[in-house]
Structure 1
């Protein structure tokens, strides 16, 4: 049995979407009765998503664009997380969306822009004599070693990401 992570929509929300919303799956754009839905950014940077508001049976609801695109394309609401394959939460093209577990989604998260090394999983040593790398998998941190340059450490991270996370893992280098 798969645990549901995404809260199931009430029947009136599903009916509203089916009756009022259409999508351009290639661009990831939604339309309400033929008019493009602009949407607004929700969540703090850099993990912002597009969402839009609608009034259903007198109650105001906020729906995330990527969840509605996924629903309209597949004909069912995702039970797990919806991952943006390229790491860009504003790219809602159906080719960029996939249903994943929480762990798979976290493995593909882009690094926070504030990293001192500029790479995911890479940290400068306290003595400023190189870098060390770590990666998380199944809730555990794995030490990958010490390296002379941030690039070497990032390449070690990428190799571990491929091994541990497969196609779901984030890579510092393409």
Structure 2
């Protein structure tokens, strides 16, 4: 979806009500036949985001939530709990593209079940490599899978800080 410039804050707040505790948007004014007063605004997209049409443009609800709460238009917003439909302000934080990419579910092609751990067949070892902002950090090579998993968690916590997420698939090991 194309990123738009922010709507007029006064027009937005006079038309929409945002509850920062629940993350729900409701219409204050009837703007069209499908925008009834008191009705929840927007719809969930195929990607799981709530989207709201306002003045002929489609806006992601989390961007509107940030704008209505803090008065600034964000570049990028991260859903802390990874639930794209949870727009409670306590679940939203500004992030860089790199930070936001750390808060994702496990990649499908990951066969070890642990982020940043892969089997190096010529070395017969589990290798740990973590990428941050385009740079790779080597975490070691291990004969024992559990040691590699611990090294991955430690290095990711160190490098990713508040954006660290344990997305390991439980019980998976090659």
Shorter-normalised TM range: 0.7 to 0.9
Q: Which one of the candidate residues 107, 117, 142 is aligned to 2:102? A: 107
Counterpart secondary structure, 2:110: coil
Are positions 1:167 and 2:162 aligned together?
A: yes
In 2, the alpha carbon distance for the partners of 1:147 and 1:24 equals 49
- Structure 2 matches for 1:12-161, cutoff 5 A? 12=8, 14-33=9-28, 34-43=38-47, 48-54=48-54, 56=55, 59=56, 61-78=57-74, 80-126=75-121, 129-161=124-156
Q: Is the 8 A contact 2:6 2:73 kept in 1?
A: no
Counterpart secondary structure, 1:52: strand
Runs of 4+ in structure 1 displaced over 6 angstroms? none
Deviations 1:81-107 (A, max 9, x none): 211122332322211111122222223
Aligned length: 158
Superposition TM-score, scaled by structure 1 size = 0.74
Q: Is the 8 A contact 1:154 1:172 kept in 2?
A: no
Backbone CA RMSD of aligned residues? 2.7
Unaligned runs of 5+ in 2: 29-37, 169-174
Q: Which one has the largest radius of gyration? A: 2
**Inter-CA distance 106–35: structure 2 relative to 1 (3 Å threshold):** same
Superposition TM-score, scaled by structure 2 size = 0.74
Displacement of 1:42 in angstroms is 4.5
Counterpart secondary structure, 1:66: helix
In 2, the alpha carbon distance for the partners of 1:27 and 1:150 equals 41
In 1, the alpha carbon distance for the partners of 2:7 and 2:51 equals 19
Deviations 1:16-70 (A, max 9, x none): 4222111121222211222112512244xxxx4222334x1xx3x1110111111
**Inter-CA distance 129–50: structure 2 relative to 1 (3 Å threshold):** farther
**Inter-CA distance 11–82: structure 2 relative to 1 (3 Å threshold):** closer
Deviations 1:108-163 (A, max 9, x none): 33322442122221223336945222111221112212234544323212211222
